[in-house]
Structure 1
Amino acid sequence: MERKPIDRDKTCPFLIRLLWRENEYLTPDCMRNRNEHQGPDEIRLYGWRDTNFREIADMLKEHISGARRKDADFNFSFIRQNLEGGYEVKTVGTIHFSRKSDLDSVTLHQLKFVIGDFIVLNLTYSLT
């Protein structure tokens, strides 16, 4: 059964907590001492279940100067809590600043993002 489109004017967005680094992958260990306070490696965005990864990449350009570089690659993953109380990483894919990517139109809902999951960004730069 296909879901109805979201009316963003009538539907309240939810908080997306995004952790990021340049040229460095975050691991579940980074969650050990994390709490509700925003650290320097965290960006808080708002979105809906139909928010796609191109929209997220575009929002990040307002917060991270390196994200505006034409050779920027946005490598996304999720960190979510598992049943044992630890954290696990799920690789999502890559968005390229200057060209189309398979992930562009993929939504949070399609990847089973759950409120409370963290989106993790490893920002890298292509050698051009």
Structure 2
Amino acid sequence: MNRPTITVDREKTCPLLLRVFTKHGGHHSVDDFEVRGKEPKDEVQIYTWRDATLRELTDLVKEVSPTARKRDAILSFAFVYPDRRGRNVMRPVGKTASFARRPDENKTLAELSFQTGDFLDVAIYA
């Protein structure tokens, strides 16, 4: 199912706060997000828009993570959010490479059904 492409006027639209949690060698456990206020310590807060692509987010993560800047680094993205019962779930949404191009890199948060309040967990493999 293809979602309609959303274009945001970034001059007129207020950005959203995206809470990004990075981890080297794999994703965090969904249990790491169980208690509000006690999320993993390796958090980066990014102000962005719903039309941000995984490539844009990759470049932002590279600014704060030396490991993500390695030539062979692969970044795996997953959303963490509560399901209908209130239990957190983790849903993989795509992979990018630090320097090489990959098919997922042009996917936007909106296309991937990101909801305000979701966390973004990024596993960095290098």
TM-score (norm 1): 0.89
- What is the aligned length? 124
* Residue 94 of structure 1: aligned partner: 95
Query: Which is helix-richer, 1 or 2?
Result: 2
Alignment-mate amino acid for residue 17 of structure 2: L
1:23 is matched with 25
1:70-92 CA deviation, whole Å, 9 max, x = no partner?
11100111111112111001111
Are the equivalent residues in 1 in contact too, given 2:33–2:39 (CA < 8 A)? Answer: no
Paired residues for 1:23-102 under 5 Å: 23-35=25-37, 40-102=41-103
Aligned to 2:12: 10
Determine the C-alpha separation between the residues in 1 that align with 2:6 and 2:110.
12
Q: Quick check: 1:120 aligned with 2:94?
A: no
Q: State how far apart, in whole Å, the 2-side matches of 1:115 and 1:56 are.
A: 16
Letter in 2 for 1:12: C
Within 2, Cα distance between the matches of 1:27 and 1:4? 31
Q: Which amino acid aligns with 1:56?
A: L
Amino acid corresponding to residue 17 of structure 1 in structure 2: R
> For the residues of structure 2 that align with 1:57 and 1:42, how far apart are their CA atoms?
15
CA distance in structure 2 between the aligned counterparts of 1:26 and 1:69, rounded to whole angstroms: 21
Amino acid paired to 2:95 = T
The CA RMSD over aligned residues, in Å, is 1.8
- Determine the C-alpha separation between the residues in 2 that align with 1:5 and 1:98: 25
> Is there any run of 5+ residues in structure 2 with no aligned partner, and where?
none
Structure 1 unmatched runs, 5+: none
TM-score by length of 2: 0.90
- SS of residue matched to 2:55: helix
The runs of 4+ residues in structure 1 deviating greater than 2 Å are: 1-5, 37-40
